């Protein structure tokens, strides 16, 4: 009989870890022994704490869902973002290598500058234009330089029924306001955290060793305006939604204008099918309604 695979999941309160936990609660992770740690229970910026955690448990995998993701706040909280996204990633990579643990790390489309006109492949040059993007890319490099057994999964526009995200913000604002303006000149792909969680579970269950960097988002392309309109339509919210240019709504952190990810590598390597973002959004909206 196949033994269970012990997995450490960091950042347990975040939307991706919560999605992995949902799969476990639904009985979709039967071969896995999942151990969830919140940032208070395991501070990945504390090397000694990380070492102690790994030495006390016989983990086979570590899924790093801990990350500093406040894109605008990172512009002024540079050191905190660096500690979590770079130092934390390095600490996990070093400790994973020492303990023969495979590291699955979540990165972002924000490592790219957005000046390209075709979907980004894994080998495209990273040119982050924000502190957040810069720290996430340096975190990737810290992993590559310190362990060989890793999967770095770059994703985009993550949302779910859990935590804070664009979908939930739009639903709240749609119920509070009569009109809203959303940018139409930033293009990417919304990604349902539950879909990404399923891919992570699949990687672990199949014990795949095709290590490296992979892009994963849902299929299709959208602007933030398109995303917002589809959320309102799917939630039966009537609102006067206006498309605006990014310069009309200035934010502390610069965003890539185009950050669509090419998913050919992950589909071909692991034989997975990726749902379209609109189909997954419908599923997420139903999940939000069930929580209310």
Point out the residues that are catalytic: 132
d(CA 211, CA 148): 8
In order of 51, 128, 137, 170, the CA distances from 214 in angstroms are 27, 17, 14, 29
Q: Is 137:91 a contact under the CB 8 Å cutoff?
A: no
Which residues lie closer than 8 Å to 77 by C-beta, 6 or more apart? 68, 70
C-alpha–C-alpha distance, residues 127 and 239, integer Å: 37
Task: Confirm if 87 and 67 have CB atoms less than 8 A apart.
Answer: no
Beta strands in the chain (DSSP E): 5-10, 32-37, 61-64, 102-108, 150-155, 158-159, 179-183, 187-188, 191-192, 212-215, 222-223, 240-244
Classify 133 as helix, strand or coil. Answer: helix
Return the residue matching tokens 């999967």.
151
The tokens describing 246, both together, are 């990014």
Q: What distance in Å separates the CA atoms of residue 187 and residue 277, rounded to the nearest whole number?
A: 13
Q: Considering only CA atoms, which of 273, 270, 153, 197 is closest in space to residue 7?
A: 197
For residues 142 and 140, give the distance between their C-alpha atoms in angstroms, rounded to a whole number.
5
């Amino acid at each position: 009989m196949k033994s269970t695979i012990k997995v450490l999941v960091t950042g347990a309160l975040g939307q991706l870890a919560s999605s992995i936990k949902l799969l476990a609660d639904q009985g979709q992770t039967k071969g896995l022994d999942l151990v969830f740690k919140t940032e208070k229970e395991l501070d990945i910026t504390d090397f000694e704490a990380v070492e102690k955690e790994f030495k006390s448990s016989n983990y086979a995998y570590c899924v790093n869902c801990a990350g500093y993701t406040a894109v605008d706040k990172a512009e002024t909280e540079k050191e905190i973002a660096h500690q979590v996204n770079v130092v934390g990633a390095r600490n996990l990579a070093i400790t994973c290598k020492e303990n023969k643990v495979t590291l699955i790390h979540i990165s972002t489309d924000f490592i790219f500058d957005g000046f390209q006109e075709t979907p980004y492949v894994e080998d495209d040059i990273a040119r982050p234009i924000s502190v957040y993007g810069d720290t996430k890319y340096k975190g990737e490099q810290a992993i590559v330089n310190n362990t060989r057994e890793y999967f770095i999964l770059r994703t985009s526009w993550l949302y779910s029924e859990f935590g804070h995200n664009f979908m939930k913000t739009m639903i709240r604002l749609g119920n509070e306001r009569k009109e809203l303006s959303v940018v139409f000149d930033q293009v990417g792909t919304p990604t349902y955290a539950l879909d990404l969680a399923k891919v992570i579970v699949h990687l672990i269950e199949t014990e795949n060793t095709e290590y490296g960097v992979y892009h994963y988002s849902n299929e299709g392309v959208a602007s933030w305006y398109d995303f917002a309109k589809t959320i309102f339509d799917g939630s039966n919210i009537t609102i006067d939604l206006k498309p605006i240019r990014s310069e009309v709504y200035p934010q502390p952190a610069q965003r890539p204008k185009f950050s669509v990810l090419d998913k050919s590598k992950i589909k071909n390597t692991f034989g997975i099918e990726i749902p379209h973002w609109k189909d997954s959004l419908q599923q997420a909206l139903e999940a939000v309604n069930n929580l209310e």
